[in-house]
């Protein structure tokens, strides 16, 4: 008989005066995520870089986290918030400002973008308070512990989810987190990692999920089917009753995870959901893969998994376990590169790397733990001209002349073509403070440098930006300020300059490209 889980156990930031008054500590050098960069589906759809290119703020209370968000010039101004100490419902108040939309009793990342929340120093513990991501994009949550978040009892927070995402969320990377509960729904808890209502391009990596009735879901009901894709890799699920995860209509890539004591059911694709399940290790568990509690079928592709003391129930009208000898009943195409550890070493490599306060160690792809170095997409600021002039340019031919162009919504009276006409007297400007403009060619062209020239009277208006491979959405580099930007030579048909923040209306006179 199953026992209950509970029994088993700056200008960009506003004025310095505001910071001083609230106790927020500002560090002005360029911020970056602490690890090498996002993985899995979070690398798609333009990539996930969080607060790269922005300022860094230190916070020791939930209110200070909200203050840091609210003090930004805009909801898209990049920021890295370093968290140390214990965050609780009691020290998390609602804060108002131009860069936020917060609520008391929950860490509210709502209607915002370009944010990294990372635990530092002695560690960050979110105790009985959840992290709620809503109507937001390009978010990184890293090296934090979130524990005992309840939907009933006292205190309550975030509907009982440790980390919950909903309502048009995309590009989120949660990495090296420890998500804990002390029981199931009857004890007041819900899911540890939930995604619903159009949440897309998410990766959960090197994390621990433990002691909960529900690991997490993708899709809140059988009609909430517009979520995913999601990647789960190098995570440890331990003493979880079900939902590791539950996939309603969503696609998930699930590889190199360690499952210990999954008590009722595990990976549960249903209502058309698909799971690619590679090189995982399942131990002392029951019904770790299949469609359960519904007659709406899901599908799976399996390879290289190890099933160590796993039991399987008999098939029924609402019960379709994949075992005892799991075989594939679909195929799932993965659009990004990844390296699989052998399933036999998954228990050791996941134990050595997963969870908060493990030094952000990762697998080297050969079953050994390593500490990664930061990659250009998350840390470097390209060489820029502080005040580019109309005559300064890299050597070589400007490949933009004679090419084509497009972009996001533009301000009245401007044209995409103005950025490639060789005339600094004309310009393109987005309809708001952020936007993107692209140069494109009919055939693949090698590009390693661009030169962004601002229009007369608008010098210095461009704040943070990203340069994207328009063919794949990959982030080639990121930084702030106009001028010459260098990156690894890339063959592409389209290169995009995406402005993610600005001091005033940005105006791009010329978008020059060079081999």
Handedness of CA 358, 355, 300, 338 (dihedral sign): negative
* pTM for this predicted structure: 0.70
- Residue tagged active-site, from 210, 214, 236, 243: 243
* Positions of the chain with pLDDT lower than 70, given as ranges: 1-36, 373-395
**What DSSP string describes 320-373?**
EE--SS---SS-----S---PPPGGGHHHHHHHH-STTSTT-EE-SSS-EEPPP
Per-residue burial over 452-491, b if 16 or more Cβ lie within 10 Å, else e, is bbbbeebbebbbbbbbbbbebbbbbbbbbbbbbbbbeebe
Q: Tokens standing for 496?
A: 């995009």
* CB-CB contact of 85 with 127 (8 Å): no
Q: What is the predicted pLDDT for the residue at 480?
A: 80
Question: Would you call 281 helix, strand, or coil by DSSP?
Answer: strand
What is the pLDDT at residue 377?
31
DSSP states along 495-513: EEEEE--BSS---EEEEEE
The DSSP call for residue 376 is H
Q: What is the pLDDT of residue 340?
A: 97
> Cα(449)–Cα(477) distance, rounded to whole angstroms?
11
pLDDT at 202: 98
The continuous run of DSSP H or E covering 116 comes out as strand 113-127
Please report the pLDDT score of residue 136 as a whole number: 98
Question: Does the active-site annotation cover 270?
Answer: no
pLDDT value of residue 413? 86
Cis peptide before 270 (omega within 30 of 0): no
Written as six digits, the tokens of 102 are 């917060």
Burial of 383 (0-12, 13-18, 19+ CB in 10 A): exposed
What is the pLDDT at residue 479?
Answer: 81
- pLDDT computed for residue 2 by the predictor: 41
């Amino acid at each position: 008989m199953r026992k209950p889980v509970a029994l088993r156990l700056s200008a960009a930031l506003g004025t310095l005066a505001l910071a001083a008054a609230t106790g927020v500590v500002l560090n002005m050098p360029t911020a970056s995520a602490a690890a090498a960069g996002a993985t899995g589906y979070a690398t798609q759809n333009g990539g996930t870089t969080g607060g790269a290119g922005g300022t860094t703020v230190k916070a020791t209370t939930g209110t200070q986290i909200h203050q840091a968000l609210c003090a930004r010039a805009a909801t898209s101004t990049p920021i890295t918030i370093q968290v140390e100490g214990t965050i609780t419902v009691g020290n998390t108040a609602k804060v108002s400002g131009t860069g936020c939309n917060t609520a008391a009793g929950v860490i509210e990342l709502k209607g915002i973008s370009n944010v990294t929340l990372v635990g530092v120093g002695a560690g960050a513990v979110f105790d009985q308070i959840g992290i709620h991501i809503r109507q937001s994009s390009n978010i990184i949550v890293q090296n934090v512990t979130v524990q005992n978040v309840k939907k009933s009892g006292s205190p309550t927070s975030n509907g009982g989810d440790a980390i919950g995402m909903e309502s048009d969320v995309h590009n989120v990377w949660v990495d090296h987190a420890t998500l804990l509960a002390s029981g199931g729904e009857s004890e007041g808890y819900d899911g540890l990692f939930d995604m619903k209502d159009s949440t897309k391009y998410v990766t959960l990596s090197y994390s621990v999920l433990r002691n909960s009735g529900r690991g997490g879901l993708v899709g809140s009901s059988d009609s909430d089917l517009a979520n995913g894709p999601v990647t789960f890799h190098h995570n440890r699920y331990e003493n979880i009753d079900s939902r590791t995860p539950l996939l309603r209509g969503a696609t998930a890539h699930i590889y190199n995870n360690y499952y210990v004591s999954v008590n009722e059911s595990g990976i549960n694709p249903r209502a058309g959901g698909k799971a690619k399940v590679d090189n995982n290790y399942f131990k002392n568990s029951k019904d770790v893969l299949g469609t359960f509690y519904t007659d709406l079928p899901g599908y799976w592709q399996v390879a290289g998994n190890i099933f160590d003391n796993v039991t399987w129930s008999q098939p029924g009208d609402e019960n379709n376990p994949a075992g005892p000898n799991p075989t594939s009943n679909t195929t799932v195409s993965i659009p990004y590169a990844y390296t699989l550890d052998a399933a036999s070493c998954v228990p050791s490599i996941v134990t050595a790397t997963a969870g908060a306060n493990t030094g952000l160690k990762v697998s080297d792809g050969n079953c050994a733990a390593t500490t990664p170095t930061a990659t250009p997409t998350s840390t470097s600021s390209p060489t820029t001209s502080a005040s580019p002039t109309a005559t300064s340019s890299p050597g070589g031919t400007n490949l933009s002349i004679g090419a084509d162009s497009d972009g996001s919504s533009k301000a009245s009276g401007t044209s995409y073509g103005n950025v490639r006409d060789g005339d600094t007297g004309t310009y393109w400007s987005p309809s708001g403070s952020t936007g993107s403009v692209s140069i494109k060619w009919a055939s693949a062209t090698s590009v390693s440098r661009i030169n962004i020239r601002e229009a007369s009277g608008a010098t210095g208006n461009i704040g943070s930006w990203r340069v994207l491979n328009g063919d794949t959405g990959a982030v080639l580099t990121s930084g702030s300020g106009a001028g010459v930007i260098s990156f690894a030579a890339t063959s592409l048909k389209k290169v995009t300059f995406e402005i993610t923040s600005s001091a005033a209306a940005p105006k791009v006179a010329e978008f020059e490209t060079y081999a």
